[in-house]
């Protein structure tokens, strides 16, 4: 049960290039904070990387007198690079992700034909198991296992706030796709049911906002709002209806443009590939590895 009196401060950073939402979540008493799902900037046209998003987060932390205690990933992202490794180098904070990251690493290790890759989760300092508890300052955090979008997705319930990554979007955006390797519409339905069993007043913070209808970016709702008006959840009476809807929709979606670039960075804790003998780093793109795609 969530204690209603515990209300961490939440500051969001929206990256319009990837429609991603990054968060700084802090204990207003101790000024300890966590960074959730930070973005490392990548321009696929030029191959350039940058730290614009991450540096903006660091500026906010410095301006508000916060101390970074945790750098938290909810899952290995398919549409942007993680800035966890860079932020670790700048803050010394503890990096963490769900323990099922090893399953995702094993899957993508095969796809990339990467025999020497360490698929043991050691790229992070802490691997959370379902039900694990920790704290940000004096604010209690509970880890929920929320597979479906990926094998490793977790939700952080921080005080009265739940960070649900890509399981659900804003009510007018629906739910996450499940057609990536290791995805499952059945598991996603059960993960959503568990999240929506939290108290109605629980604040829900999403990992992306694709701004349906051309509205401005939004990222916060409540459990009550999601139950009553999420365009996918509220229209499906049971798991079978949801699975049929989700799978039909997924068949119409092209793969994210950065998936093959992003996963080799993100299963490695946000670390870029090692430089080769000429001092240059290279990404490895497997051809025809994801089956017959929907072309856009």
pLDDT in tens, 189-229: 999 999 999 999 999 999 999 999 999 999 999 999 999 99
Residue 293, Cβ neighbours under 10 Å: how many?
A: 11
Dig out the tokens for 260 from the structure: 């093959």
**Residue 204: strand, helix, or coil:** strand
User: Rounded to whole angstroms, how far apart are CA atoms 89 and 154?
Assistant: 24
Q: What is the pLDDT of residues 150-198, one digit of tens each?
A: 999 999 999 999 999 999 999 999 999 999 999 999 999 999 999 999 9
User: Residue 149 in contact with residue 121, Cβ under 8 Å?
Assistant: no
Any residues with CB less than 8 A from the CB of 288 and at least 6 apart, and which? none
Phi, psi of 290 (to 5 degrees): -110, 25
Task: For domain 9-260, give the CATH superfamily.
Answer: Ribonuclease Z/Hydroxyacylglutathione hydrolase-like (3.60.15.10)
- In this prediction the pTM is 0.95
The reported pLDDT for the residue numbered 295 is 86
- Report the distance separating Cα 14 and Cα 39, nearest Å: 10
What is residue 3's predicted lDDT score, i.e. its pLDDT?
Answer: 47
Residue 155 in 3-state DSSP?
A: strand
Buried b (16+ CB within 10 A) or exposed e, 195-208: bbebeeebbbbbbb
Which residues, given as ranges, of the chain have pLDDT below 70? Answer: 1-5
> Which candidate, 134, 148, 153, 155, places its Cα nearest to that of 203?
155
Q: What is the rounded CA–CA span in Å between residue 272 and residue 253?
A: 28
First to last CA, the chain: 45
Looking at residue 43, its pLDDT comes to 96
pLDDT at 294: 83
CA atoms within 13 A on the CB side of 180: 26
């Amino acid at each position: 049960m969530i204690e209603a009196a515990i209300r961490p401060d939440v500051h969001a950073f929206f990256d319009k290039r990837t429609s991603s939402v990054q968060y700084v979540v802090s204990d207003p008493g101790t000024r300890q904070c966590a960074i959730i799902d930070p973005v490392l900037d990548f321009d696929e046209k030029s191959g350039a990387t940058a730290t614009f998003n991450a540096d903006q987060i660091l500026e906010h932390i410095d301006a508000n007198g916060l101390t970074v205690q945790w750098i938290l990933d909810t899952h290995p992202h398919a549409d942007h690079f993680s800035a966890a490794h860079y932020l670790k180098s700048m803050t010394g904070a503890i990096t963490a992700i769900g323990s099922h990251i090893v399953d995702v690493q094993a899957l993508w290790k095969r796809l990339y034909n990467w025999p020497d890759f360490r698929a043991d989760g050691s790229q992070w300092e802490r691997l959370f198991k379902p039900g694990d508890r920790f704290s940000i300052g004096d604010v209690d955090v509970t880890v929920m296992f929320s597979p479906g979008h990926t094998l490793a997705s977790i939700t952080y319930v921080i005080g009265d706030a739940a960070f649900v990554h890509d399981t659900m979007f804003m009510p007018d955006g629906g739910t996450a796709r499940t057609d990536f390797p290791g995805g499952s519409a059945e598991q996603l339905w059960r993960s959503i049911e568990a999240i929506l069993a939290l108290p109605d007043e629980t604040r829900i913070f999403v990992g992306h906002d694709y701004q349906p209808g051309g509205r401005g970016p939004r990222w916060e709702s409540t459990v009550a709002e999601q139950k009553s008006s999420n365009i996918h959840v509220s229209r499906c009476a049971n798991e079978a209806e949801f699975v049929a809807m989700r799978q039909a929709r997924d068949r119409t979606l092209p793969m994210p443009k950065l998936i093959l670039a992003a996963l080799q960075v993100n299963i490695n804790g946000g670390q870029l590939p090692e430089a080769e003998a000429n001092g240059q780093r290279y990404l490895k793109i497997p051809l025809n590895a994801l089956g017959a795609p929907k072309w856009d």
